[in-house]
Amino acid sequence: MSTEYRYDPEEIEPRWQKVWADERTWEVSNDVEGRDKSYVLVMLPYPSGEPHIGHLKVYSVGDAVAHFHRRTGRHVLNPMGYDAFGLPAENNAIKTGEHPRDSTKKSIESFRRQFKRWGISIDWSRELATCEPDYYRWTQWIFLQFYNAGLAYRKAATVNWDPVEETVLANEQVVDGRGERSGALVEVRHLEQWFFRITDYADRLVDGLDEIEWPEHVKTMQRNWIGRSEGAEVTFRCEDLGVDYPVFTTRPDTLFGATFFVLAPEHPDIEKLAAGTGHEDEVRDYVNRALTTDKEDRGNADRTKTGVPLGRTVTNPVNGEQIPMFVADYVLMEYGTGAVMAVPGHDQRDYDFAKTFDLPVKRVVEGVPDEGGDEDGLPYTGPGVLVNSHPDFDGLDKTAALEAIVRWLDREGKGNSSTNYRLRDWLLSRQRYWGCPIPIIHCEACGTVPVPEDQLPVILPDVEDYKPKGRSPLAAATDWVNVPCPSCGKPAKRETDTMDTFVDSSWYFLRYTDASNDEAAWDPEILKRWAPVDQYIGGVEHAILHLLYARFFVKALADLGHVDVQEPFAKLFTQGMVTKDGAKMSKSRGNVVSPQDIVAARGADTARTYILFIAPPDQDADWADEGVDGVYRFLSRLWRLSAAAADGPGAGADQPDVESLSPADLELLRKAHWAIEKVTNDMAGRFNFNTAISAVMELTNDVSRAVNERGDAEPQAVRFALATAASLLFPFAPHVAADAYSKLTGDRVWEQPWPAADSELLERDTVEVVFQVNGKVRDRASVPATASKNELEALAMASPKVQAHLEGKTVAKVIVVPGKLVNIAVRG
Ligand code: ANZ
Ligand code: ZN
């Protein structure tokens, strides 16, 4: 091929980016009524430094989907924004004094520049950043809607307090009872905190999962997080104190096997119970130790059980037995009632505790002993019938017994069936600076007073010092803090806590639909046209919290009449990680591949196509520089072939008349239709981008062979095949595809409908069959696809090349695989 054609992404890519920017090609109007809409959304990035390889991957995935949807006739919304509040910018501010607003702005600019440099087809008119007042005004507005509906409330909560950082830590930031960053022993404090009442939605959050097309493992994670469990609440009474202690149990059928009773160390009655029993000191020491033990650890089944007796008993309501009370850290205050009836015969943790403290173990369910139990097969958790309980229940299957016992408890007023959730209300307040201010004013006379809506946004004030000192840094902004009460006018103070950044990202997808509305968070009529997001794309690390919070927001906003869908994301796709040499990329390992470097060296099209080519996008993929070169050569070949064909004979890229083509050219045409079919199937509803790209590679290679090896290819067939390749490649490598397509046709590929495969050209009426003698290929023939075994055998025998190898030999056996081969086994 002539060397005058040189693929130059540095020239091609900015040229097409300019067209898209000047013409605002990817902007979409809200006038979608009656049209087929598609809302394609990739999770918004947290802007920090420069985008990394994971961003390149996820936005390449999103863009491929968006382009495919556009070209298959849908009206596509594909917006971009930034999750711009949060700790890294604030910690940087503490270190350097640079205002988080300034460092965040710089990062946003660099993210925006890269996304444009990558040619991602974003509707930039809807861009938002959650730290901007015209965005967080509406975050505050939503908070107030929730507040007014009783869904946002304030209460004292036990929190993890880091005495060195002087701030509250999230559970995930506590490692082995110490602050993750400071290493200081975490203290338990009771502080007033703000919560969202997400637990009110627990059932709907579980049930709604059935209506959405999400990966099963993500649904499972959500279900486990919510942790709905069905059981009963049963009341045990401490006669000494005259106090009732309800427990939550999933196994009321084992009530007759309860041999002791355990309270969580945080239980508010512990001190009162121990008082005067002689156990006070022991109990106090134990409780203090337990409070700083990691919660996750405490619940761990394998852990050696610890605890101390309280010196009291409770009455088992089903048989009047007095059973001893203990405090033990395997019981958690946050779950159920913070108290359990312990049934060592049928529960492993209770069993371990009973063995440690030499307490009786009683069997009340008999079945087939399961493996791993003691000599009596205990604790036993399998199916079976009740024993050692009560004549009314003994002999009943345990499920039937469970129901019968709950009915009995209910009648006696000693219990009732009950559902319990692991999910807790969402603690959303943070004693930190760089977040959305909570729009509340505290007045001594009126209590908590919402900031009137017409005074929103409550602007985040500037402060001198970003370090939390036992309170939010905002508390130091006294001019800002001191305001008259909106209700009585007396001096009052603003709430100084800010919101968890998960609040900001729980509704951004609603804002995109009507992003420049300055009278409302969105116009419900417009939102209705776009919601829900048809395809949501992001990392599996957000499988639990972000997705759960966003689902809660949508359900709550729907109940308040602002949204008319129940689920925000109809379909979810979670992409895998990009690794290097099998390991996660990290600065400390020194194996970080920078998308900027690849784009600078090889162009955005190569970077994007490569990252989608290495593996199915939901799987982890290992980066290899040689692979990048291979993709670059492929794009280069496609572009050079197209440029040469465009300058050669023929015109446009219409399909040539099939009748006029040589068999070889017809094959090329067939290959193009095969590729259309393959890529379309790989993309429609699926994300098999790697095999789609490899189909376009195959087609391009066939064109290359036809042009460079065969030499007599019909120019129009070549043009058609190349334009098809470019058209199919456009969702992955938009610049080179647009350029090649425009050279061949003068048209803009993104304005063309997605190509359709001609079914007649897909049907293969002839196939190539190989003829072998003793496994060696001796000849080939093009035969009707329907040729029978006998016909194929006859054809093979008739071939002169085959006959030459049969001379003087005896035919022992003939194997025929229709459509593929004939193998003749010979002897002698
Ligand atoms: C008696 C019993 C007998 C129990 C038995 C289990 C098996 P899930 O399924 O996760 O909901 N439990 C209740 N509250 C607790 C707390 N605050 N901390 C630790 N454990 C607690 O678990 C429910 C079971 O966990 C309850 O049922 C209770 O033990 C325990 F053969 O009651 B069960
Ligand atoms: Zn007041």
DSSP 595-631: HHHHHHHH-HHHHHHHHHHSS-TTS-EEE-HHHHHHH
Q: What are phi and psi of 252, to 5 degrees?
A: -60, -20
Neighbours of 564 (CB within 10 A): 12
Write out 109-171 in H/E/C secondary structure. HHHHHHHHHCCCCCCHHHCEECCCHHHHHHHHHHHHHHHHCCCEEEEEEEEEEECCCCEEECH
Ligand 1 in reach of 254 Cβ (< 6 A): yes
Q: pTM value?
A: 0.86
Average of pLDDT values for 342-359?
Answer: 96
pLDDT at 21: 98
Q: Output the six-digit token pair for 801.
A: 């090349």
Q: Which helix (H) or strand (E) holds 692?
A: helix 689-705
Question: What is the distance in A from the centroid of ligand 1 to the CA of 391?
Answer: 25
- Ligand closest in space to the Cα of 226: 1
Q: Which helix (H) or strand (E) holds 156?
A: strand 152-162
Ligand 1 in reach of 335 Cβ (< 6 A): yes
Task: List pLDDT tens digits, range 79-92.
Answer: 999 999 998 888 88
Ligand 1 in reach of 430 Cβ (< 6 A): no
In terms of Cβ atoms closer than 10 Å to its own Cβ (0-12, 13-18, 19+), residue 581 is exposed
8 Å CB contact between 595 and 53 = yes
pLDDT at 301: 80
Task: List pLDDT tens digits, range 728-750.
Answer: 999 999 999 999 999 999 999 99
Ligand 1 in reach of 348 Cβ (< 6 A): no
Grouping H, G, I as helix, E, B as strand and the rest as coil, residue 537 is strand
Tokens 């156990």 belong to which residue?
279
Task: List pLDDT tens digits, range 564-577.
Answer: 999 999 999 999 99
Q: How high does pLDDT run on average in the chain? A: 94
Higher pLDDT, 188 or 377: 377
Question: What is the distance in A from the centroid of ligand 2 to the CA of 616?
Answer: 59
Grouping H, G, I as helix, E, B as strand and the rest as coil, residue 687 is coil
Tokens 């492929």 belong to which residue?
634
Q: What CA–CA distances, in Å, run from 760 to 431, 670, 696?
A: 68, 9, 20
Average of pLDDT values for 7-26?
Answer: 98
Ligand 1 in reach of 78 Cβ (< 6 A): no
Q: Output the six-digit token pair for 432.
A: 């930190």
Return left, alpha or beta for 281; rule: phi > 0 is left, psi -120 to 50 is alpha, else beta.
alpha
Looking from the CA of residue 345, the nearest atom of ligand 1 is 31
Cα separation, 358 vs 515, whole angstroms: 66
Grouping H, G, I as helix, E, B as strand and the rest as coil, residue 743 is helix
Nearest to 247 by CA among 348, 333, 156: 333
Sign of CA pseudo-dihedral 797, 802, 807, 811 = negative
Question: What is the distance in A from the centroid of ligand 1 to the CA of 250?
Answer: 6
Beta-carbon-side half-sphere exposure of residue 463 (alpha carbons within 13 Å): 23
Question: What is the distance in A from the centroid of ligand 1 to the CA of 819?
Answer: 63
Nearest to 778 by CA among 795, 793, 799: 799
- Ligand closest in space to the Cα of 487: 2
472-487 burial by CB neighbour count: b if 16+ within 10 A, else e? bbbbbbeebbebebee
Q: How are beta strands 365-366 and 339-342 bridged, if at all? A: unpaired
pLDDT at 543: 86
Residues 680, 21, 640, CA angle at the centre, nearest 5°? 55
Question: What is the distance in A from the centroid of ligand 1 to the CA of 340?
Answer: 7
Average of pLDDT values for 67-87?
Answer: 96
Residue 651 is given by DSSP the state: -
Ligand 1 in reach of 252 Cβ (< 6 A): no
Looking from the CA of residue 342, the nearest atom of ligand 1 is 1
Average of pLDDT values for 37-51?
Answer: 95
8 Å CB contact between 732 and 689 = yes
Ligand 1 in reach of 766 Cβ (< 6 A): no
Q: Which helix (H) or strand (E) holds 76?
A: strand 75-77
Closest residue CA from atom 22 of ligand 1:
250
Tell whether residue 584 is among the known ligand binding residues. Answer: no
pLDDT at 795 over 60: yes
Please give the single-letter amino acid code of residue 250.
T
Ligand 1 in reach of 182 Cβ (< 6 A): no
